[in-house]
Chain A
Amino acid sequence: MISRDTTSKEATDMSTAGGPSEQKDAKDEAPDTSAIGVREGEGHAIQVKGLKAFYGKQEAIRGVDIVFPPNEVTAIIGPSGCGKSTMVRCINRMHEEIPGAHAEGSVTLDDLDVYGAGVDVTSVRRLIGMVFQKPNPFPTMSIFDNVAAGLKLTGTKSENLRETVHRSLRAVGLWGEVKNRLNEPGMGLSGGQQQRLCIARTIAVEPEVILMDEPCSALDPVATLKVEELIDELKERYTIVIVTHNMQQAARVSNTTVFMLDGELVEHAPTQEIFTRPKDERTERYVTGKFG
Protein backbone atom coordinates (compact mmCIF):
# COMPACT_ATOMS: atom_id res chain seq x y z
CA MET A 1 0.00 0.00 0.00
CA ILE A 2 1.15 3.49 -0.79
CA SER A 3 1.32 5.60 2.35
CA ARG A 4 1.43 9.34 2.87
CA ASP A 5 4.27 8.83 5.30
CA THR A 6 6.47 7.87 2.41
CA THR A 7 5.70 11.16 0.74
CA SER A 8 6.50 13.18 3.83
CA LYS A 9 9.85 11.51 4.20
CA GLU A 10 10.67 12.22 0.57
CA ALA A 11 9.77 15.87 0.93
CA THR A 12 11.87 16.40 4.05
CA ASP A 13 14.86 14.75 2.40
CA MET A 14 14.85 17.10 -0.56
CA SER A 15 18.03 18.88 -1.46
CA THR A 16 18.25 22.59 -0.80
CA ALA A 17 19.95 23.20 -4.14
CA GLY A 18 18.15 25.01 -6.92
CA GLY A 19 17.66 24.65 -10.68
CA PRO A 20 16.64 21.80 -12.93
CA SER A 21 19.95 19.98 -12.80
CA GLU A 22 19.97 19.99 -9.04
CA GLN A 23 16.46 18.65 -9.02
CA LYS A 24 17.72 15.38 -10.42
CA ASP A 25 20.20 15.22 -7.56
CA ALA A 26 17.38 15.88 -5.15
CA LYS A 27 15.47 13.04 -6.72
CA ASP A 28 18.41 10.74 -6.13
CA GLU A 29 18.03 11.49 -2.44
CA ALA A 30 14.35 10.59 -2.50
CA PRO A 31 13.22 7.88 -0.11
CA ASP A 32 12.99 4.23 -0.95
CA THR A 33 9.75 3.73 -2.82
CA SER A 34 10.62 0.18 -3.79
CA ALA A 35 8.59 -1.11 -0.84
CA ILE A 36 5.43 -0.06 -2.63
CA GLY A 37 6.53 -1.44 -5.97
CA VAL A 38 7.89 1.76 -7.53
CA ARG A 39 11.47 1.19 -8.53
CA GLU A 40 13.95 3.86 -7.57
CA GLY A 41 16.62 5.49 -9.71
CA GLU A 42 15.30 4.46 -13.09
CA GLY A 43 12.51 5.35 -15.51
CA HIS A 44 9.00 4.45 -14.53
CA ALA A 45 6.63 2.72 -16.91
CA ILE A 46 2.86 2.65 -16.75
CA GLN A 47 1.24 -0.56 -17.91
CA VAL A 48 -2.45 -0.64 -18.69
CA LYS A 49 -4.17 -4.01 -19.20
CA GLY A 50 -7.75 -4.63 -20.24
CA LEU A 51 -8.82 -1.17 -19.13
CA LYS A 52 -12.53 -0.47 -19.35
CA ALA A 53 -14.07 2.75 -18.08
CA PHE A 54 -17.72 3.48 -17.54
CA TYR A 55 -19.92 6.50 -16.91
CA GLY A 56 -22.86 4.73 -15.37
CA LYS A 57 -23.63 2.00 -17.90
CA GLN A 58 -21.99 3.82 -20.79
CA GLU A 59 -18.68 2.22 -21.72
CA ALA A 60 -16.19 4.98 -22.58
CA ILE A 61 -13.06 2.80 -22.74
CA ARG A 62 -13.50 -0.66 -24.23
CA GLY A 63 -10.62 -2.79 -23.08
CA VAL A 64 -7.33 -1.00 -23.76
CA ASP A 65 -3.89 -2.57 -23.38
CA ILE A 66 -0.91 -0.22 -23.55
CA VAL A 67 2.50 0.45 -22.03
CA PHE A 68 3.66 4.03 -21.55
CA PRO A 69 7.46 3.69 -21.72
CA PRO A 70 9.64 5.34 -19.07
CA ASN A 71 11.09 8.79 -19.71
CA GLU A 72 9.19 9.15 -22.92
CA VAL A 73 6.37 11.41 -23.98
CA THR A 74 3.33 9.54 -25.24
CA ALA A 75 0.68 11.61 -26.98
CA ILE A 76 -2.92 10.46 -27.15
CA ILE A 77 -4.92 11.81 -30.07
CA GLY A 78 -8.41 11.16 -31.34
CA PRO A 79 -11.73 12.88 -31.99
CA SER A 80 -13.83 14.31 -29.18
CA GLY A 81 -15.49 11.61 -27.13
CA CYS A 82 -13.01 8.89 -28.13
CA GLY A 83 -12.03 8.32 -24.51
CA LYS A 84 -8.55 9.83 -24.44
CA SER A 85 -9.16 12.09 -21.43
CA THR A 86 -10.99 9.28 -19.66
CA MET A 87 -8.00 7.04 -20.21
CA VAL A 88 -5.51 9.39 -18.53
CA ARG A 89 -7.95 10.05 -15.72
CA CYS A 90 -8.09 6.30 -15.12
CA ILE A 91 -4.31 6.15 -14.81
CA ASN A 92 -4.26 8.21 -11.61
CA ARG A 93 -7.73 7.18 -10.46
CA MET A 94 -9.38 10.54 -11.02
CA HIS A 95 -12.04 8.92 -13.17
CA GLU A 96 -13.68 7.37 -10.12
CA GLU A 97 -14.26 10.84 -8.65
CA ILE A 98 -17.11 11.35 -11.11
CA PRO A 99 -20.41 10.13 -9.64
CA GLY A 100 -21.44 6.83 -11.20
CA ALA A 101 -18.10 6.35 -12.96
CA HIS A 102 -15.88 3.33 -12.47
CA ALA A 103 -13.03 1.52 -14.18
CA GLU A 104 -12.11 -2.13 -14.68
CA GLY A 105 -8.84 -3.78 -15.64
CA SER A 106 -5.41 -3.01 -14.26
CA VAL A 107 -3.02 -0.06 -14.21
CA THR A 108 0.44 -0.57 -12.80
CA LEU A 109 3.25 1.88 -12.14
CA ASP A 110 6.33 -0.36 -12.22
CA ASP A 111 5.15 -3.10 -9.86
CA LEU A 112 2.58 -0.98 -8.03
CA ASP A 113 -1.00 -1.97 -8.77
CA VAL A 114 -2.68 1.43 -8.88
CA TYR A 115 -6.09 -0.14 -8.31
CA GLY A 116 -4.80 -2.63 -5.74
CA ALA A 117 -6.72 -3.22 -2.54
CA GLY A 118 -5.68 -0.81 0.19
CA VAL A 119 -3.70 1.49 -2.11
CA ASP A 120 -3.91 5.08 -0.94
CA VAL A 121 -5.45 7.16 -3.73
CA THR A 122 -3.82 10.41 -2.63
CA SER A 123 -0.39 8.83 -2.83
CA VAL A 124 -1.19 7.44 -6.27
CA ARG A 125 -1.97 10.97 -7.41
CA ARG A 126 1.27 12.26 -5.91
CA LEU A 127 3.24 9.66 -7.85
CA ILE A 128 1.16 10.26 -10.99
CA GLY A 129 0.60 14.01 -11.21
CA MET A 130 -1.81 15.74 -13.53
CA VAL A 131 -1.89 19.02 -15.44
CA PHE A 132 -5.29 20.11 -16.70
CA GLN A 133 -6.60 21.85 -19.81
CA LYS A 134 -7.30 25.14 -18.10
CA PRO A 135 -4.66 26.54 -15.77
CA ASN A 136 -6.14 26.19 -12.32
CA PRO A 137 -4.06 28.04 -9.74
CA PHE A 138 -5.75 28.31 -6.36
CA PRO A 139 -7.41 31.71 -6.68
CA THR A 140 -6.82 32.94 -3.15
CA MET A 141 -3.20 31.77 -2.93
CA SER A 142 0.04 33.54 -3.76
CA ILE A 143 2.44 32.26 -6.41
CA PHE A 144 4.57 30.70 -3.67
CA ASP A 145 1.64 29.05 -1.91
CA ASN A 146 0.27 27.66 -5.14
CA VAL A 147 3.47 25.67 -5.68
CA ALA A 148 3.73 24.83 -2.00
CA ALA A 149 0.14 23.61 -1.70
CA GLY A 150 0.86 19.96 -2.43
CA LEU A 151 4.00 19.98 -0.31
CA LYS A 152 2.15 21.38 2.70
CA LEU A 153 -0.30 18.50 2.46
CA THR A 154 2.64 16.12 2.74
CA GLY A 155 3.99 17.91 5.82
CA THR A 156 7.18 19.26 4.31
CA LYS A 157 9.19 21.42 6.73
CA SER A 158 9.21 25.14 6.00
CA GLU A 159 12.94 25.46 5.14
CA ASN A 160 12.74 22.61 2.64
CA LEU A 161 9.45 23.97 1.39
CA ARG A 162 11.04 27.23 0.28
CA GLU A 163 13.87 25.52 -1.54
CA THR A 164 11.56 23.06 -3.22
CA VAL A 165 9.22 25.83 -4.39
CA HIS A 166 12.14 27.82 -5.81
CA ARG A 167 13.55 24.76 -7.49
CA SER A 168 10.20 23.83 -9.03
CA LEU A 169 9.73 27.36 -10.36
CA ARG A 170 13.20 27.22 -11.89
CA ALA A 171 12.45 23.83 -13.45
CA VAL A 172 9.46 25.24 -15.33
CA GLY A 173 11.37 28.36 -16.41
CA LEU A 174 9.20 30.66 -14.32
CA TRP A 175 11.69 31.72 -11.65
CA GLY A 176 13.09 34.70 -13.52
CA GLU A 177 9.60 35.99 -14.20
CA VAL A 178 8.19 35.69 -10.68
CA LYS A 179 11.09 35.70 -8.21
CA ASN A 180 10.36 39.28 -7.13
CA ARG A 181 6.66 38.75 -6.63
CA LEU A 182 6.27 35.37 -5.02
CA ASN A 183 3.70 36.73 -2.59
CA GLU A 184 1.45 38.13 -5.28
CA PRO A 185 -1.66 36.17 -6.31
CA GLY A 186 -1.11 33.30 -8.74
CA MET A 187 -4.17 34.46 -10.63
CA GLY A 188 -2.27 37.64 -11.56
CA LEU A 189 -0.03 35.72 -13.94
CA SER A 190 -0.72 35.34 -17.66
CA GLY A 191 -2.41 32.16 -18.89
CA GLY A 192 0.86 30.62 -20.01
CA GLN A 193 2.56 31.52 -16.74
CA GLN A 194 -0.37 30.10 -14.79
CA GLN A 195 -0.07 26.80 -16.63
CA ARG A 196 3.65 26.62 -15.92
CA LEU A 197 2.84 27.47 -12.30
CA CYS A 198 0.49 24.48 -12.23
CA ILE A 199 3.21 22.29 -13.72
CA ALA A 200 5.58 23.57 -11.01
CA ARG A 201 2.96 22.61 -8.41
CA THR A 202 2.75 19.14 -9.97
CA ILE A 203 6.48 18.48 -10.01
CA ALA A 204 7.07 20.01 -6.54
CA VAL A 205 5.81 16.81 -4.95
CA GLU A 206 8.24 14.73 -7.02
CA PRO A 207 5.91 12.56 -9.07
CA GLU A 208 7.18 9.72 -11.29
CA VAL A 209 4.64 10.28 -14.05
CA ILE A 210 2.98 13.46 -15.32
CA LEU A 211 -0.35 13.28 -17.11
CA MET A 212 -1.33 16.30 -19.18
CA ASP A 213 -4.86 16.75 -20.45
CA GLU A 214 -4.73 19.28 -23.29
CA PRO A 215 -2.34 21.49 -21.33
CA CYS A 216 -1.99 24.13 -24.05
CA SER A 217 -5.50 24.41 -25.41
CA ALA A 218 -6.11 27.64 -23.48
CA LEU A 219 -2.71 29.17 -24.25
CA ASP A 220 -1.42 31.48 -26.97
CA PRO A 221 1.21 30.16 -29.44
CA VAL A 222 4.22 31.55 -27.55
CA ALA A 223 3.04 30.18 -24.20
CA THR A 224 2.28 26.89 -25.95
CA LEU A 225 5.83 26.64 -27.30
CA LYS A 226 7.24 27.36 -23.84
CA VAL A 227 5.19 24.54 -22.35
CA GLU A 228 6.25 22.25 -25.19
CA GLU A 229 9.91 23.03 -24.54
CA LEU A 230 9.29 22.34 -20.88
CA ILE A 231 7.76 18.96 -21.72
CA ASP A 232 10.89 18.11 -23.68
CA GLU A 233 13.04 18.94 -20.63
CA LEU A 234 10.75 17.17 -18.16
CA LYS A 235 10.87 13.85 -20.00
CA GLU A 236 14.47 13.48 -18.84
CA ARG A 237 13.09 12.93 -15.36
CA TYR A 238 9.47 11.90 -15.79
CA THR A 239 7.29 9.64 -17.86
CA ILE A 240 4.77 11.91 -19.58
CA VAL A 241 1.39 11.18 -21.13
CA ILE A 242 -0.24 14.08 -22.96
CA VAL A 243 -3.73 14.24 -24.38
CA THR A 244 -3.95 16.77 -27.18
CA HIS A 245 -6.34 17.86 -29.90
CA ASN A 246 -3.47 19.57 -31.66
CA MET A 247 -1.88 16.97 -33.91
CA GLN A 248 1.09 19.18 -34.69
CA GLN A 249 1.71 19.45 -30.97
CA ALA A 250 1.62 15.67 -30.70
CA ALA A 251 4.09 15.53 -33.58
CA ARG A 252 6.39 18.09 -31.96
CA VAL A 253 6.55 16.82 -28.40
CA SER A 254 5.97 13.07 -28.31
CA ASN A 255 8.09 9.98 -28.86
CA THR A 256 5.13 7.74 -29.50
CA THR A 257 1.55 8.54 -30.40
CA VAL A 258 -1.64 6.68 -29.60
CA PHE A 259 -4.71 7.06 -31.79
CA MET A 260 -8.01 6.29 -30.07
CA LEU A 261 -11.46 5.98 -31.59
CA ASP A 262 -14.76 5.10 -29.93
CA GLY A 263 -13.08 4.01 -26.71
CA GLU A 264 -10.61 1.70 -28.45
CA LEU A 265 -6.91 1.98 -29.11
CA VAL A 266 -6.53 1.91 -32.88
CA GLU A 267 -2.79 2.38 -33.25
CA HIS A 268 0.23 3.05 -31.03
CA ALA A 269 3.49 3.69 -32.85
CA PRO A 270 6.50 5.99 -32.96
CA THR A 271 5.20 9.48 -33.66
CA GLN A 272 7.18 9.75 -36.89
CA GLU A 273 5.41 6.67 -38.21
CA ILE A 274 1.95 7.84 -37.19
CA PHE A 275 2.42 11.08 -39.12
CA THR A 276 4.29 9.73 -42.14
CA ARG A 277 2.95 6.22 -42.72
CA PRO A 278 0.30 5.09 -40.26
CA LYS A 279 -0.57 1.42 -40.56
CA ASP A 280 -4.28 1.63 -39.82
CA GLU A 281 -6.58 3.21 -42.38
CA ARG A 282 -8.60 4.87 -39.59
CA THR A 283 -5.46 6.60 -38.28
CA GLU A 284 -4.62 7.74 -41.81
CA ARG A 285 -8.07 9.17 -42.27
CA TYR A 286 -8.01 10.99 -38.96
CA VAL A 287 -4.54 12.55 -39.17
CA THR A 288 -5.07 13.66 -42.77
CA GLY A 289 -8.43 15.19 -41.87
CA LYS A 290 -10.38 12.88 -44.14
CA PHE A 291 -12.80 12.67 -41.28
CA GLY A 292 -13.12 14.77 -38.19
Chain B
Amino acid sequence: MQETRHSFREALKQLEVQALGGLDLVITALDRALEAVSYQDVELAGMVVADDDLIDGRYLEVHQGILSLLALQTPVATDLRIVAALLHVIRCIERMGDQCVNIAKLVPLSGYESPKDKDILDAIERMGQLARSQLSQAKEAFASRNVGLAQDLVRQDTEINRLNREIFRRAVEIGDDVDTREWAMFMILVARCLERVGDNTVDIAEQVVFVVTGLFREFADASHPA
Protein backbone atom coordinates (compact mmCIF):
# COMPACT_ATOMS: atom_id res chain seq x y z
CA MET B 1 0.00 0.00 0.00
CA GLN B 2 1.34 3.42 -0.86
CA GLU B 3 0.25 6.92 0.04
CA THR B 4 -1.82 8.71 -2.58
CA ARG B 5 -3.50 12.08 -3.19
CA HIS B 6 -0.36 14.12 -2.51
CA SER B 7 -1.63 17.25 -4.28
CA PHE B 8 -4.93 17.15 -2.40
CA ARG B 9 -3.14 16.73 0.91
CA GLU B 10 -0.84 19.63 0.07
CA ALA B 11 -3.78 21.82 -0.94
CA LEU B 12 -5.60 21.03 2.30
CA LYS B 13 -2.50 21.85 4.32
CA GLN B 14 -2.08 25.16 2.51
CA LEU B 15 -5.72 25.99 3.07
CA GLU B 16 -5.33 25.39 6.80
CA VAL B 17 -2.20 27.56 6.96
CA GLN B 18 -4.05 30.28 5.05
CA ALA B 19 -7.08 30.11 7.37
CA LEU B 20 -5.08 30.04 10.61
CA GLY B 21 -2.98 32.90 9.25
CA GLY B 22 -6.21 34.89 9.46
CA LEU B 23 -5.88 34.67 13.25
CA ASP B 24 -2.57 36.56 13.00
CA LEU B 25 -4.35 39.29 11.05
CA VAL B 26 -6.96 39.50 13.84
CA ILE B 27 -4.23 39.72 16.49
CA THR B 28 -2.68 42.66 14.63
CA ALA B 29 -6.08 44.36 14.29
CA LEU B 30 -6.84 43.78 17.98
CA ASP B 31 -3.47 45.16 19.13
CA ARG B 32 -3.98 48.31 17.09
CA ALA B 33 -7.62 48.74 18.16
CA LEU B 34 -6.67 48.47 21.85
CA GLU B 35 -3.76 50.86 21.42
CA ALA B 36 -6.09 53.29 19.69
CA VAL B 37 -8.50 53.05 22.65
CA SER B 38 -5.75 53.53 25.24
CA TYR B 39 -4.14 56.53 23.51
CA GLN B 40 -7.24 57.91 21.85
CA ASP B 41 -5.41 57.47 18.53
CA VAL B 42 -8.02 58.16 15.87
CA GLU B 43 -5.55 57.70 13.02
CA LEU B 44 -4.56 54.23 14.21
CA ALA B 45 -8.24 53.37 14.64
CA GLY B 46 -8.76 54.38 10.99
CA MET B 47 -6.06 51.94 9.96
CA VAL B 48 -7.85 49.13 11.78
CA VAL B 49 -11.03 49.91 9.84
CA ALA B 50 -9.20 50.10 6.51
CA ASP B 51 -7.17 46.94 7.06
CA ASP B 52 -10.27 44.90 7.77
CA ASP B 53 -10.34 44.40 4.00
CA LEU B 54 -7.35 42.11 4.47
CA ILE B 55 -9.33 39.90 6.83
CA ASP B 56 -12.39 39.97 4.60
CA GLY B 57 -10.17 39.08 1.64
CA ARG B 58 -8.69 36.18 3.57
CA TYR B 59 -12.22 34.98 4.34
CA LEU B 60 -13.13 35.00 0.66
CA GLU B 61 -9.91 33.21 -0.37
CA VAL B 62 -10.33 30.45 2.19
CA HIS B 63 -14.04 30.14 1.46
CA GLN B 64 -13.34 29.74 -2.24
CA GLY B 65 -10.57 27.27 -1.50
CA ILE B 66 -12.93 25.19 0.62
CA LEU B 67 -15.57 25.18 -2.11
CA SER B 68 -12.97 24.06 -4.64
CA LEU B 69 -11.73 21.23 -2.43
CA LEU B 70 -15.27 20.04 -1.77
CA ALA B 71 -16.18 20.16 -5.46
CA LEU B 72 -12.98 18.73 -6.88
CA GLN B 73 -11.62 16.42 -4.22
CA THR B 74 -14.66 15.23 -2.22
CA PRO B 75 -12.78 14.90 1.06
CA VAL B 76 -14.02 12.34 3.59
CA ALA B 77 -13.38 11.29 7.20
CA THR B 78 -10.73 13.44 8.96
CA ASP B 79 -10.12 15.44 5.78
CA LEU B 80 -13.82 16.28 5.59
CA ARG B 81 -13.88 17.29 9.24
CA ILE B 82 -10.88 19.59 8.71
CA VAL B 83 -12.56 21.24 5.73
CA ALA B 84 -15.84 21.67 7.64
CA ALA B 85 -13.94 23.06 10.65
CA LEU B 86 -11.98 25.51 8.51
CA LEU B 87 -15.25 26.83 7.08
CA HIS B 88 -16.36 27.52 10.64
CA VAL B 89 -12.99 28.92 11.74
CA ILE B 90 -12.69 31.38 8.87
CA ARG B 91 -16.20 32.64 9.64
CA CYS B 92 -15.12 33.22 13.26
CA ILE B 93 -12.03 35.07 12.01
CA GLU B 94 -14.12 37.33 9.83
CA ARG B 95 -16.44 38.08 12.76
CA MET B 96 -13.51 38.83 15.10
CA GLY B 97 -12.11 41.21 12.49
CA ASP B 98 -15.45 43.00 12.53
CA GLN B 99 -15.31 43.26 16.34
CA CYS B 100 -11.91 44.97 16.05
CA VAL B 101 -13.48 47.40 13.57
CA ASN B 102 -16.32 48.03 16.00
CA ILE B 103 -13.82 48.88 18.74
CA ALA B 104 -11.88 51.16 16.37
CA LYS B 105 -15.01 53.02 15.30
CA LEU B 106 -15.78 53.84 18.93
CA VAL B 107 -12.45 55.68 19.36
CA PRO B 108 -13.42 58.98 17.67
CA LEU B 109 -16.88 58.83 19.27
CA SER B 110 -15.62 58.54 22.84
CA GLY B 111 -14.13 62.07 22.82
CA TYR B 112 -10.56 63.42 22.76
CA GLU B 113 -10.31 64.83 26.26
CA SER B 114 -12.97 62.86 28.03
CA PRO B 115 -12.51 61.94 31.69
CA LYS B 116 -11.43 58.36 32.15
CA ASP B 117 -11.77 55.77 34.88
CA LYS B 118 -8.60 53.84 35.70
CA ASP B 119 -10.43 50.73 36.92
CA ILE B 120 -12.34 50.43 33.67
CA LEU B 121 -9.26 51.10 31.55
CA ASP B 122 -7.27 48.48 33.48
CA ALA B 123 -10.05 45.94 33.02
CA ILE B 124 -10.25 46.72 29.28
CA GLU B 125 -6.50 46.31 29.00
CA ARG B 126 -6.65 42.99 30.87
CA MET B 127 -9.49 41.78 28.62
CA GLY B 128 -7.43 42.74 25.58
CA GLN B 129 -4.45 40.75 26.83
CA LEU B 130 -6.63 37.72 27.48
CA ALA B 131 -8.32 37.97 24.06
CA ARG B 132 -4.93 38.20 22.39
CA SER B 133 -3.67 35.21 24.34
CA GLN B 134 -6.79 33.22 23.44
CA LEU B 135 -6.33 34.01 19.74
CA SER B 136 -2.76 32.67 19.84
CA GLN B 137 -3.79 29.63 21.83
CA ALA B 138 -6.71 28.84 19.49
CA LYS B 139 -4.30 28.92 16.56
CA GLU B 140 -1.80 26.66 18.29
CA ALA B 141 -4.51 24.24 19.46
CA PHE B 142 -5.90 23.89 15.93
CA ALA B 143 -2.52 23.55 14.24
CA SER B 144 -1.33 20.92 16.71
CA ARG B 145 -4.76 19.21 17.12
CA ASN B 146 -4.31 19.67 20.88
CA VAL B 147 -7.63 18.99 22.62
CA GLY B 148 -6.26 19.87 26.07
CA LEU B 149 -5.07 23.25 24.87
CA ALA B 150 -8.43 23.83 23.18
CA GLN B 151 -10.37 22.99 26.33
CA ASP B 152 -8.15 25.33 28.38
CA LEU B 153 -9.56 28.25 26.37
CA VAL B 154 -12.84 27.87 28.25
CA ARG B 155 -11.02 28.59 31.53
CA GLN B 156 -9.46 31.74 30.08
CA ASP B 157 -12.74 32.85 28.56
CA THR B 158 -14.41 32.69 31.97
CA GLU B 159 -12.05 35.47 33.11
CA ILE B 160 -12.91 37.60 30.06
CA ASN B 161 -16.61 37.18 30.84
CA ARG B 162 -16.03 38.11 34.48
CA LEU B 163 -14.16 41.30 33.48
CA ASN B 164 -16.96 42.18 31.05
CA ARG B 165 -19.51 42.03 33.87
CA GLU B 166 -17.16 43.97 36.16
CA ILE B 167 -16.82 46.81 33.62
CA PHE B 168 -20.59 46.96 33.29
CA ARG B 169 -21.03 47.22 37.07
CA ARG B 170 -18.32 49.87 37.37
CA ALA B 171 -19.88 51.89 34.54
CA VAL B 172 -23.27 51.82 36.25
CA GLU B 173 -21.76 53.12 39.46
CA ILE B 174 -19.43 55.68 37.84
CA GLY B 175 -21.24 58.80 39.04
CA ASP B 176 -23.31 61.67 37.70
CA ASP B 177 -20.85 63.41 35.40
CA VAL B 178 -22.37 63.25 31.90
CA ASP B 179 -19.07 63.08 30.02
CA THR B 180 -17.72 60.36 32.27
CA ARG B 181 -20.90 58.36 31.96
CA GLU B 182 -20.85 58.68 28.20
CA TRP B 183 -17.23 57.51 28.06
CA ALA B 184 -18.10 54.59 30.35
CA MET B 185 -20.95 53.57 28.01
CA PHE B 186 -18.48 53.42 25.11
CA MET B 187 -16.18 51.28 27.24
CA ILE B 188 -19.07 48.87 27.85
CA LEU B 189 -19.31 48.49 24.09
CA VAL B 190 -15.56 47.94 23.78
CA ALA B 191 -15.75 45.30 26.52
CA ARG B 192 -18.63 43.63 24.73
CA CYS B 193 -16.56 43.42 21.51
CA LEU B 194 -13.67 41.84 23.44
CA GLU B 195 -16.06 39.38 25.05
CA ARG B 196 -17.25 38.39 21.55
CA VAL B 197 -13.66 37.87 20.39
CA GLY B 198 -13.09 35.56 23.36
CA ASP B 199 -16.28 33.68 22.57
CA ASN B 200 -15.19 33.16 18.97
CA THR B 201 -11.88 31.67 20.10
CA VAL B 202 -13.87 29.15 22.16
CA ASP B 203 -15.87 28.33 19.01
CA ILE B 204 -12.56 27.59 17.25
CA ALA B 205 -11.52 25.42 20.18
CA GLU B 206 -14.74 23.40 19.78
CA GLN B 207 -13.78 22.81 16.15
CA VAL B 208 -10.42 21.44 17.29
CA VAL B 209 -12.23 18.79 19.33
CA PHE B 210 -14.51 18.07 16.34
CA VAL B 211 -11.55 17.56 14.02
CA VAL B 212 -9.84 15.22 16.47
CA THR B 213 -12.81 13.21 17.75
CA GLY B 214 -15.49 13.60 15.08
CA LEU B 215 -17.92 14.73 17.77
CA PHE B 216 -19.23 18.25 18.19
CA ARG B 217 -19.79 19.46 21.70
CA GLU B 218 -20.31 23.02 22.87
CA PHE B 219 -17.91 23.81 25.71
CA ALA B 220 -20.24 26.45 27.05
CA ASP B 221 -23.91 26.79 26.20
CA ALA B 222 -25.18 30.32 26.74
CA SER B 223 -28.80 29.17 26.64
CA HIS B 224 -28.17 26.44 29.23
CA PRO B 225 -25.44 27.77 31.53
CA ALA B 226 -23.95 25.25 33.96
Contacts and interface: CB of A to CB of B under 8 A. Distances in A.
Interface string A278-292: 100001100111111
A257 to B, nearest CB: 11
Nearest to A289: B5
Nearest to A291: B1
Given A276-B214, A277-B214, A291 B77 contact: no
B4 to A, nearest CB: 4
A276 B3 contact: no
Contacts of A248: 74
A277 B3 contact: no
Given A276-B214, A277-B214, A292 B1 contact: yes
A55 interface: no
B76 A287 contact: yes
A138 interface: no
Contacts of B80: 275-276
B122 interface: no
Contacts of B215: 277
A225 interface: no
A276 B2 contact: no
Contacts of B213: 277
B74 A290 contact: no
Interface centre among A79, A248, A287, by most B CB within 10 Å? A287
B32 to A, nearest CB: 40
B179 interface: no
A36 interface: no
Contact of B79 (A247, A251, A274, A288): A288
Contacts of B81: 276-277
Contacts of B78: 277, 284, 288
Nearest to B214: A277
B77 A277 contact: yes
Interface in A63-83: 79
Nearest to B73: A289
A288 B4 CA distance: 9
Given A276-B76, A276-B77, A277-B81, A289 B1 contact: no
Q: A247, A274, A288 — which one has the most chain B CB atoms within 10 A of its CB?
A: A288
B115 interface: no
B75 interface: yes
Contact of A247 (B3, B5, B8, B76): B76
Contacts of A287: 76-77
A117 to B, nearest CB: 41
Interface string B184-226: 0000000000000000000000000000011100000000000
B76 A292 contact: no
Given A276-B81, A277-B81, A288 B75 contact: yes
Contacts of A275: 76-77, 80
Q: By CB atoms of chain A within 10 A, which of B1, B2, B76 has the most?
A: B76
B212 to A, nearest CB: 10
B76 A251 contact: yes
Contacts of B214: 276-277
Interface in A250-292: 251, 274-278, 283-284, 287-292
Interface string B66-77: 000000001111
Given A277-B214, A288-B5, A288-B79, 12 more contacts: A248-B74, A251-B76, A275-B77, A276-B77, A276-B81, A284-B78, A288-B78, A289-B5, A290-B4, A290-B5, A292-B1, A292-B4
29 contacts: A79-B1, A248-B74, A251-B76, A274-B77, A275-B76, A275-B77, A275-B80, A276-B76, A276-B80, A276-B214, A277-B78, A277-B81, A277-B213, A277-B215, A278-B77, A283-B77, A284-B78, A287-B77, A288-B5, A288-B78, A289-B4, A289-B5, A290-B5, A291-B1, A291-B2, A291-B3, A291-B4, A292-B1, A292-B2
